[in-house]
Structure 1
Amino acid sequence: MTKVDFHILATTQENDFLTYVVRLTQKAHSRGHQVLIATDHAEQSLALSTALWGIQPDAFIAHSSVDEAHDAIQISDSEQCGTHHDVLINLRQAIPDFFSRFERVFEVVSQQPTLLTASRQRYRFYSDRGYALTRHDLRDRV
């Protein structure tokens, strides 16, 4: 059964949110995982792609859209989920229909009110269905 981790951030800022997602992606990839990042729309995918390319002045995290399907890290703002079955980082307000095919799902929680409400609904969904949930509350690290 899919294991679900909620990473609860202290921030409401989009830039801080994307920076955390990039670090989480980098960590998963460095441990040999294939990663699919599900976004709500093309603008969010573009912002994430830009963040992945610009993680450090002398480094980047290679990635592609799920349509290109040639990198271990892929981004999807559609119902396409490629061939990955390893790690899903869900940035969508809703849970993607394909989430259960992944071994791990990372939900990144912003303190922005509308996103926080959607995160609580996702948590309730997973909990009501018996998924193994782990909370990483980063608010007390600030």
Structure 2
Amino acid sequence: MTKVDFHILPAFQEHERIKYVTRLIRKAQSQSLNVLISTEDEAHQRAVSEGLWASSPDSFLAHEHIEEDFHPIQISCSDACGQHHQVLINLCNQTPNYFSRFERVFEVVSQEPSVLNASRSRYKFYKDRGYALTRHDLRDRV
């Protein structure tokens, strides 16, 4: 069964959330895991993509959009979930329909009110269905 982790960040800004996502991706890469990042729409997908390319001047995170060839790091703003099902990082306000295909789901939550409220609904969704949930409150650590 899919394991779901909620990472609760102190920041309001989306760029801080994307910065934290890069940390999650690097950890997944160190364990040879493939990652899909689910984004809200094409504009959000572009912002995340730009954040990954600019994550560090000497160690950017190469990635592809889901519609392109397979790559260990992919981004999607559609119902397509790709060929692997290891790690899903959900940056959408809703739970992607395909989330249960993945071994792990990371919900990255900022303190921006709409993101925070949507994450509470997703938490309840997973909990009501019996998924193993882990909550990482990073508001005092990041």
Which sections of structure 2, spanning at least 5 residues, go unmatched?
Answer: none
Following superposition, the deviation at residue 70 of structure 1 comes to 2.2
Give the match for residue 93 of structure 1: 93
Give the match for residue 139 of structure 2: 139
Q: Does 1:60 align with 2:60?
A: yes
Give the match for residue 18 of structure 1: 18
Give the match for residue 129 of structure 2: 129
- State the distance in 1 between where 2:21 and 2:90 align: 10
The answer to whether the 8 Å contact 1:109/1:115 transfers is yes
Q: How large is the RMSD of aligned CA atoms in angstroms?
A: 0.9
Q: Does 1:70 align with 2:70?
A: yes
Normalized against structure 1, the TM-score is what? 0.97
- State the distance in 2 between where 1:21 and 1:69 align: 22
The residue type paired with residue 58 of structure 1 is: D
Normalized against structure 2, the TM-score is what? 0.97
- State the distance in 2 between where 1:50 and 1:40 align: 15
Query: Which of structure 1's runs of 4+ aligned residues deviate more than 2 A?
Result: none
Following superposition, the deviation at residue 27 of structure 1 comes to 1.3
Which sections of structure 1, spanning at least 5 residues, go unmatched?
Answer: none
The answer to whether the 8 Å contact 2:70/2:83 transfers is no
The answer to whether the 8 Å contact 2:36/2:76 transfers is yes
Aligned residues: percent identity?
59
Aligned length: 142
